[in-house]
């Protein structure tokens, strides 16, 4: 579904992502793990198109998207969430989601007809709110939501684009245990319809959700495979998991 | 809605009242407010709704005015040619300036729009055939045909009022339509707007061009209003004045531009002309500045924002 070939990104002299090869298969939850500064977010940004790549190729569903604009990738079905919550904070939950639905349903170069009259947009937004557990909060202004709810809203925004693959960049970041459990359940639900590339530090979540895991250290893939194999891999334990599992 | 009707009745009756008490000057003054209301509303579209802090709106305002002046020198005065030409040239200028400036953000955007406006200023100053430094007096107001003359201040007031109403209606539709929602979303969070699939650059550019076109129409009207176009219309101080109007009235509030224009010009009139301050009237900027400061400190959402019921 998604395949990266020899993908690199340099910032000045620093190689953040170093000739990465990665394949995400349709329907799987593929986790991308690694220590801080390993290049995970950089890699996600290259895939989503918010960062350009210095070398290598990205193909998505048979399209070469290496040079595509971010919005073109979204239209092909590639959507992302951000490590630092990125939502429309001053809009209501419903307006947030309706705006995301609007982005893929018809032209938004429409200057005359009031959006408020477009029932279909808001009906769909309500459905999405329910899907991410925010049915009770549709009228709330996004900035007033609890942290976990804001993260859920962001997942809702990515789902609104009707993606085939979602890139979730640390969806549990900053969450308490209870909120994390809710997010794990949410990802468990959405995976039925969409492939997931999950960047996460929460190993409990990773091992519960992932079908396959890729480990990134210093911009390089040091291992990729089934969770059991990754857990047992001596190199991975030395570079990353040893610390995390011990802690 | 009640407030709107009250204001509408007031502005419609104003010239009649002024004529009744023999204060014709104030009809012309009110027309000036209406024109600046249009210009400020156009700036508020990019600045308030789109979050693009354009410090070069005088370029479009002034270009619209100069087109009227230049065409008048060439003997073309028909409203039906001159005003569309002013709008078209301002829109074109906005397209070129926007296409380049919108590749930058934040302070860089402010500076680059300012730089373009100053370039436009010097272009017009250097055109000796069209007045250069001295500007251009217009022999008469543009001519609408059909035996109507705009030289009557009464007729002129109502025409400007009708145009302002039309522009505001158009803007009202626009900001509540899909396009307006996208523009506001981009202002709120450009990264997110991109990530849900909007080509944000295109939306910003279209917004910038619409705003420039409206500023161009306002410019064409101000040229007719004063029967004179001069480089001061293009000067960065003019851009600053429009920005002050928007801030005073309320950034991103629908009535922000018109309210700001009315308040600022009224204050200016009150303090500069005034028996109120006696010899200190020369320094009218001082009290106006103090009031502006007070608004920014105590009503950060602007005057229109302070009177609105809902926060936005």
Q: What is the 3-state secondary structure (H, E, C) of A66-86?
A: CCCCHHHHHHHCEEEECCCCC
CB of B188 less than 8 A from some CB of A: yes
List of chain A residues whose C-beta atoms are within 8 Å of the C-beta of residue B197: 71, 74-75, 79, 100, 103-104, 161
**Which of A45, A52, A88, A92 would you mutate first to test chain B, the one with the most B CBs within 10 A?**
A88
pLDDT averaged over 10-residue windows placed end to end, chain A, 247 residues = 94 92 95 91 95 95 94 94 94 96 90 90 95 94 95 95 94 90 93 94 91 93 92 85 62
Question: What does pLDDT average to over chain B?
Answer: 91
Q: What is the pLDDT of residue A106?
A: 83
Structure tokens at B228: 């004179």
Is 70 exceeded by the pLDDT of residue B310? no
Tens-digit pLDDT profile for residues A6-35: 999 999 889 999 999 999 999 999 999 998
Q: What is the pLDDT of residue B309?
A: 64
Q: Where does the pLDDT of residue B141 fall: very low under 50, low under 70, confident under 90, or very high at 90 and above?
A: confident
Which residue of B173, B185, B312 is in closest CB contact with A99?
B185
Interface of B with A in 162-181 (CB under 8 A): 173-174, 176-181
Gap between the terminal Cα atoms of chain B: 16
Question: What does pLDDT average to over chain A?
Answer: 92
Query: How far, in Å, are A17, A31, A56, A61, A118 from residue A6 at the CA level?
Result: 9, 19, 5, 18, 45
Q: What is the pLDDT of residue A242?
A: 67
Q: Please answer whether residues A1 and A165 qualify as being in contact, where contact means their C-beta atoms are separated by less than 8 angstroms.
A: yes
ipTM over the 0.85 cut-off? yes
C-alpha to C-alpha distance for B109 and B26, rounded to whole angstroms: 38
Is 70 exceeded by the pLDDT of residue B229? yes
Tens-digit pLDDT profile for residues B275-307: 666 666 677 788 888 888 898 888 888 888 887
Q: Please answer whether residues A196 and A183 qualify as being in contact, where contact means their C-beta atoms are separated by less than 8 angstroms.
A: no
Q: What is the pLDDT of residue B252?
A: 92
Q: Please answer whether residues B193 and B185 qualify as being in contact, where contact means their C-beta atoms are separated by less than 8 angstroms.
A: yes
Average confidence (pLDDT) over B230-247? 93
Instruction: Please report the number of interchain residue pairs, chain A to chain B, with beta-carbon separation below 8 angstroms.
Output: 94
Is 80 exceeded by the pLDDT of residue B179? yes
Instruction: Flag if A115 and B181 touch (Cβ within 8 Å).
Output: yes
Strand partners of residue A221: A216
Q: What is the pLDDT of residue B184?
A: 96
3-state secondary structure of A101: helix
Interface of B with A in 190-219 (CB under 8 A): 191-192, 194-200, 203, 206
Query: How far, in Å, are A9, A10, A16, A17, A39 from residue A13 at the CA level?
Result: 10, 7, 9, 12, 14
Instruction: Flag if A100 and B196 touch (Cβ within 8 Å).
Output: yes
Q: What is the pLDDT of residue B275?
A: 66
Name the nearest CA neighbour of A91 among A82, A100, A83.
A100
Chain B: closest CA distance from residue A204 (Å):
28
Please identify, in words, the CATH class of the domain defined by A2-90+163-246.
alpha beta
List of chain B residues whose C-beta atoms are within 8 Å of the C-beta of residue A108: 178-179, 181-182, 198, 203
Q: What is the pLDDT of residue A243?
A: 64
**pTM reported for the whole predicted model:** 0.91
Tens-digit pLDDT profile for residues B156-165: 999 999 999 9
Instruction: Flag if A50 and B182 touch (Cβ within 8 Å).
Output: no
Structure tokens at A101: 């639905």
Sequence ranges of the domains in chain B? 30-236
Q: What is the pLDDT of residue A244?
A: 64
3-state secondary structure of A146: coil
Instruction: Flag if A114 and B173 touch (Cβ within 8 Å).
Output: yes
Give all strands (DSSP E) within chain A, no chain letters: 2-11, 14-24, 29-33, 55-60, 63-64, 78-81, 165-169, 195-199, 212-217, 220-225
DSSP string for residues in chain B: -HHHHHHHHHHHHHHHHHHHTT-THHHHHHHHHHHHHHHHHHHHIIIIIS----S-THHHHHHHHHHHHHHHHTT--BHHHHHHHHHHHHHHHHHHHHHHHTTS-HHHHHHHHHHHHHHHHHHHHT-GGGTGGG-EE-SS--B-STT--TTSHHHHHHHHHHHHHHHHHHHHHHHHBHHHHHHHHHHH-HHHHHHTT--HHHHHHHHHHHHHHHHHHHHHHHHHHHTEE-GGGGSHHHHHHHHHHHHHH-TT-TTHHHHHHHHHHHHHHHHHS-TTTGGGGGGTHHHHHHHHHHHHHH-TTHHHHHH-SS--
Chain B: closest CA distance from residue A222 (Å):
29
Structure tokens at B288: 């106006």
Tens-digit pLDDT profile for residues A160-184: 999 999 999 999 988 888 999 999 9
B297 or B175, greater pLDDT: B175
C-alpha to C-alpha distance for A47 and A50, rounded to whole angstroms: 8
Tens-digit pLDDT profile for residues B20-59: 888 878 899 999 999 999 999 999 999 999 999 999 999 9
Gap between the terminal Cα atoms of chain A: 35
Question: Which residues fall within 8 angstroms of residue A146, CB to CB, at 6 or more apart?
Answer: A179
CA geometry: angle B137, B142, B148, nearest 5 deg: 140
**Which of A68, A70, A92 would you mutate first to test chain B, the one with the most B CBs within 10 A?**
A70
Q: Work out the number of other CB atoms within 10 angstroms of the CB of residue B164.
A: 23
List of chain B residues whose C-beta atoms are within 8 Å of the C-beta of residue A71: 194, 197-200
Q: What is the pLDDT of residue B102?
A: 95
3-state secondary structure of A106: coil
C-alpha to C-alpha distance for B275 and B289, rounded to whole angstroms: 19
Instruction: Flag if B195 and A74 touch (Cβ within 8 Å).
Output: yes
Sequence ranges of the domains in chain A? 2-90+163-246
List of chain B residues whose C-beta atoms are within 8 Å of the C-beta of residue A161: 196-197
Percent of chain B with pLDDT over 90: 65
Average confidence (pLDDT) over B68-92? 94
Q: Phi, psi at residue A59, to the nearest 5°? A: -125, 140
Instruction: Flag if B197 and A75 touch (Cβ within 8 Å).
Output: yes
- Taking the mean position of all CA atoms in its chain, how far away is CA B113? 16
Chain A: closest CA distance from residue B175 (Å):
8
Average confidence (pLDDT) over B112-134? 90
Instruction: Flag if A110 and B177 touch (Cβ within 8 Å).
Output: yes
C-alpha to C-alpha distance for A35 and B285, rounded to whole angstroms: 59
Interface of A with B in 62-81 (CB under 8 A): 69-71, 74-75, 79-80
């Amino acid at each position: 579904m998604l395949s990266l070939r020899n993908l690199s990104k340099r910032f000045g002299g620093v190689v953040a992502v170093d000739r990465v090869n990665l394949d995400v298969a349709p329907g799987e939850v593929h986790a991308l793990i690694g220590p801080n500064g390993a290049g995970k977010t950089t890699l996600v940004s290259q895939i989503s198109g918010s960062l350009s790549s210095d070398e290598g190729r990205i193909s998505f569903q048979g399209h070469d998207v290496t040079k595509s604009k971010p919005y073109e990738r979204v239209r092909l079905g590639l959507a992302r969430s951000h490590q630092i919550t990125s939502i429309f904070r001053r809009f209501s939950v419903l307006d947030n989601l309706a705006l995301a639905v609007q982005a893929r349903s018809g032209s938004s170069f429409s200057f005359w007809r009031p959006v408020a009259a477009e029932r279909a947009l808001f009906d769909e937004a309500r459905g999405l709110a329910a899907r991410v557990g925010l049915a009770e909060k549709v009228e709330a202004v996004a900035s007033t939501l609890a942290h976990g709810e804001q993260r859920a809203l962001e997942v809702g925004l990515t789902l609104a684009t009707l993606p085939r693959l979602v890139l979730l960049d640390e969806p549990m970041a900053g969450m308490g245990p209870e909120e994390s459990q809710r997010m794990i359940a949410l990802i468990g639900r959405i995976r039925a319809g969409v492939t997931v590339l999950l960047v996460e530090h929460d190993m409990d979540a990773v091992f519960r959700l992932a079908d396959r895991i890729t480990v990134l250290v210093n911009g390089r893939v040091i291992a990729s495979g089934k969770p059991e194999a990754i857990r047992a891999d001596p190199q991975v334990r030395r570079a990353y998991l040893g610390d995390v599992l011990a802690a | 809605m009640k407030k709107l009707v009250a204001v509408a009745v007031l502005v419609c009756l104003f010239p009649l009242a002024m004529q009744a008490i023999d204060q014709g000057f104030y009809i012309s003054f009110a027309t000036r407010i209406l024109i600046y209301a249009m210009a400020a509303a156009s700036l508020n579209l990019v600045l308030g709704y789109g979050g693009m802090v354009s410090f070069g709106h005088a370029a479009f305002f002034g270009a619209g005015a100069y087109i009227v002046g230049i065409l008048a020198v060439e003997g073309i005065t028909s409203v039906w040619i001159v005003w569309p030409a002013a709008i078209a040239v301002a829109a074109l200028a906005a397209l070129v300036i926007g296409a380049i400036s919108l590749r930058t953000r934040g302070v860089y955007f402010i500076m680059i729009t300012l730089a373009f406006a100053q370039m436009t200023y010097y272009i017009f100053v250097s055109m000796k055939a069209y007045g250069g430094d001295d500007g251009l007096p217009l022999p008469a107001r543009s001519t609408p045909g059909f035996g109507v003359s705009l030289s009557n201040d009464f007729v002129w007031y109502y025409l400007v009022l009708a145009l302002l109403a039309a522009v505001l209606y158009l803007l009202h539709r626009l900001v509540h339509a899909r396009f307006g929602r996208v523009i506001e979303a981009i202002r709120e969070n450009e990264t997110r707007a991109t990530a849900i699939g909007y080509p944000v650059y295109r939306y910003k550019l279209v917004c910038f061009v619409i705003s420039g076109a409206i500023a161009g129409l306002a410019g064409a009207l101000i040229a007719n209003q004063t029967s004179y176009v001069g480089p001061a219309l293009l000067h960065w101080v003019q851009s600053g004045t429009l920005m002050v109007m928007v801030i005073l009235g309320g950034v991103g509030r629908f009535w922000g531009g018109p309210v700001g224009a009315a308040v600022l010009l009224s204050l200016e009139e009150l303090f500069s002309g005034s028996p109120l301050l006696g010899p200190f009237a020369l320094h009218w900027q001082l009290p106006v500045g103090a009031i502006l400061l007070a608004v920014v400190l105590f009503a950060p959402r602007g005057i229109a924002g302070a009177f609105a019921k809902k926060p936005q």
